[in-house]
Amino acid sequence: MDTDIGALTVIFTEFYYWITVPLMFLIHVGFCMYEVGASRRKNHLHTLMKNTMLIPLVTITFFFFGWWIYFAFPNGPFITGGLVENTSALPWSEIMGPHLGGPPVNDADAVPLGNAAWARLNGVFWAAFLLFSWTAASIVSGAVIERIRSGAFWILAVLIGSVMWIIDAAWGWHPDGWMVTQLGYHDAYASGVIHAIAGGFALGILVPLGPRLGKFAPDGTPRNINPHNKWLVTIGLFLIYTGFWGFYVACNVPIIATGDIGMAEGYFTATTIYLTPTTLSAIVVNFLMSLSGGLIGGYIISRGDAFWVYSGGLAGIIAASAGNDLYHPIQALLIGAVGAICAFKLHFWVERRFKIDDAVGAVAVHGYAGCIGLVIAGFLLWGHPATAGYYEDVAVITPWGQFAGAVIMFWVLGFLPAFVVSNILKSMGMLRIPEAVELAGLDISADLADEMDAIEVSEADIAEARRLGLLT
C-alpha cells in the first residue's frame, strides 16, 4: 500500500471481491423464491424461513471456525502433513475486524508489518467464501422441504456450510490442497467442491428422512407433487443464474504478477483459485455456452417442461464448471447438454429405483451433474498441469484423479457425514415433523391465525358499513 501501483492493485482486488458478494446474494434471493414456489402453499412460509435462517447461522459459524479450516486443512490434516499454522483466520485474530495493516497490538497475532494488503483483503475474501458456504447449504435446503424439522436442517446447514464444504475446499480448491498436489484434482468453478458435495450431502439426509407422505403409491409408483407456483420457481432459477456470475468471478484471482506464481517474470494475469492462468473472457464465454447447452439439453430431454429446462441450464453450467477455465466454448456447450440430460435421467431413475424423494431435483442437478462434470474434465483436460507454477513437482489432471475427487466430494465429505448426523437426529426424534402436521401443513398455525384476523377485520368492516348506513 506504499506505492501507487501496489495500492491500486490492492484496492482493485478489494473492490473486485466486494462486487461478487451482492451478485452472489442474488443466488439466495433466487433460492428462496425457487423453494417457496416448489413447495405446496400450506408449507410455503416455513420453507422460506428454513432457507432464510441458514444465512445468519452459516455466517456466524463461518466466522467462528469455517475460515480457519480453509487455511489449516490443505494437508488433510495428516494426509500430506499436519495442520497448517495460520493465526490470521482465527476468530480472535485482529485482522478479522477493521484493520489498516499496521503492526499487531496483541502478541499472539501474526500480521507482520508490510502485510497491509492481507489486512485489507481478508474481509472480502472471507465474504466471498461465505457466500459459497450459504450456497452449499441452500442447495441442500430444497431437497428436504415439507417434512424436515427446521432445527434439524439448521444444524445440518452449519455442518455443510461451515465444516464439510470448507474442508473440501482446503483439500481440492486451494493451490496447496493435497487433492490438487497429489491427485491433480482440477475443479476451477466448483463442480465438485460446492455442487457434488452438496448433492451428496442432500442425499445423505434424504435416505433417513424418507419421502413426503403421499409421494409414492403403495406399488411404489412416484406421484408428482407439483410446485404451487411454477413461475416463482423458474424466476428463482433465473436469479440463481444471475448470481452464478458473481460466483464465477469470485472463483478467480483478478490480477497477480506471474513471477509471484512461479512463472517467468514480467507479466500480470488473472488466475483460477489454483493460481493457474485464465481470463475473464474465457469464463464469460464458457459460462454462457454451458448454460445454453444445458437449456437446450434440458428442453429436448424434458420436451419443454419449464422446471426441467431451467434446471437443465443450471446442471449444464455445473457440469462444465470443473474445466470452464480451459474448455473451448463448443466443448463447454456439449458438456452442458450432457450434464442436463444426465441430471434429468438420473433424477427419475433414482426416484423410481430407490424411492428417494428429492423435492426439487437438487441431488441430480448439483450432485450428479457435478460428478459427471469432474469425470469429463479428467478426460478432456488429461495431462494439463493442475498445480501452479511454483510447484516443481507438477501434478497433472487425469481421469482417475478426477474420479477419485468426485467420490471424495459426493460420498466421503457429502453423503457420509449427512447420513450419520441425520440418523443421530432421527434417533432423538428431531429430524422429521409429526405426520399430522405434514398433512395439515407446516403453516397451519399461521394460516389459522391469519384466518381469525381476516374474520375479525371482516366483522369490523360490516359493523362500520352498518354504522355509516351503507348496510342495513
11 scored as a contact of other proteins (CB under 8 A): no
Question: Is 101 or 204 the residue whose CB approaches other proteins more closely?
Answer: 101
154 scored as a contact of other proteins (CB under 8 A): yes
Single residue of 111, 203, 315, 425 touching other proteins by CB under 8 A = 111
CA proximity to 138, closest of 205, 59, 54, 200: 54
11 Cβ partners below 8 Å, 6+ apart? 120
Binding region for other proteins (CB under 8 A) out of 66-74, 93-101, 216-224, 281-289: 93-101
Binding region for other proteins (CB under 8 A) out of 34-42, 299-307, 323-331, 401-409: 34-42
Smallest separation, CB 101 to other proteins (Å): 7
Smallest separation, CB 102 to other proteins (Å): 4
455 scored as a contact of other proteins (CB under 8 A): no
The phi and psi torsions of 158 (rounded to 5 degrees) equal -65, -40
341 Cβ partners below 8 Å, 6+ apart? 297, 298, 300, 301, 312
99 Cβ partners below 8 Å, 6+ apart? 111, 119, 120, 122
Alpha helices in 217-365 (DSSP H): 230-250, 280-302, 306-321, 329-354, 362
Question: Is 224 or 472 the residue whose CB approaches other proteins more closely?
Answer: 224
CA proximity to 161, closest of 190, 142, 137: 137
Question: Is 154 or 189 the residue whose CB approaches other proteins more closely?
Answer: 154
Number of neighbours of residue 394 by Cβ within 10 angstroms: 12
Compute the Cα dihedral for 347, 352, 353, 359 and give only its sign.
positive
What strand order describes the sheet that includes 253-257? Answer: 253-257, 268-271, 277-278
52 scored as a contact of other proteins (CB under 8 A): no
441 scored as a contact of other proteins (CB under 8 A): yes
Question: Is 27 or 166 the residue whose CB approaches other proteins more closely?
Answer: 166
C-alpha cell at 304: 419443454
103 scored as a contact of other proteins (CB under 8 A): yes
Before 104, cis peptide (omega within 30)? no
Place of cell 413426503: 212
Smallest separation, CB 458 to other proteins (Å): 17
80 scored as a contact of other proteins (CB under 8 A): no
Binding region for other proteins (CB under 8 A) out of 40-48, 216-224, 265-273, 464-472: 40-48
100 scored as a contact of other proteins (CB under 8 A): yes
HSE toward the beta carbon, residue 34, CA cutoff 13 A: 30
HSE toward the beta carbon, residue 154, CA cutoff 13 A: 18
Smallest separation, CB 103 to other proteins (Å): 6
439 scored as a contact of other proteins (CB under 8 A): yes
262 scored as a contact of other proteins (CB under 8 A): no
87 scored as a contact of other proteins (CB under 8 A): no
Single residue of 20, 93, 324, 398 touching other proteins by CB under 8 A = 93
Place of cell 484493520: 99
Number of neighbours of residue 456 by Cβ within 10 angstroms: 10
CA proximity to 273, closest of 334, 194, 187, 207: 187
Question: Please, what is the angle between helix 306-321 and helix 329-354, to 10°?
Answer: 120
Binding region for other proteins (CB under 8 A) out of 172-180, 185-193, 444-452, 456-464: 444-452
Interface mask (CB under 8 A) for other proteins, residues 59-78, using x and -? -xx-xx--------------
Binding region for other proteins (CB under 8 A) out of 97-105, 260-268, 334-342, 365-373: 97-105
321 Cβ partners below 8 Å, 6+ apart? 187, 188, 189, 190, 191, 195, 290, 370, 373
Binding region for other proteins (CB under 8 A) out of 38-46, 245-253, 265-273, 344-352: 38-46
Question: Is 45 or 300 the residue whose CB approaches other proteins more closely?
Answer: 45
Q: How far does the chain reach from its first CA to its final CA, in angstroms? A: 79
Single residue of 33, 54, 116, 137 touching other proteins by CB under 8 A = 116
Residues near other proteins, by CB under 8 A: 1-2, 40-42, 57, 60-61, 63-64, 91-106, 111, 113, 116, 119, 149-151, 154-155, 226, 228, 430, 433-434, 436-437, 439-442, 444-445, 448
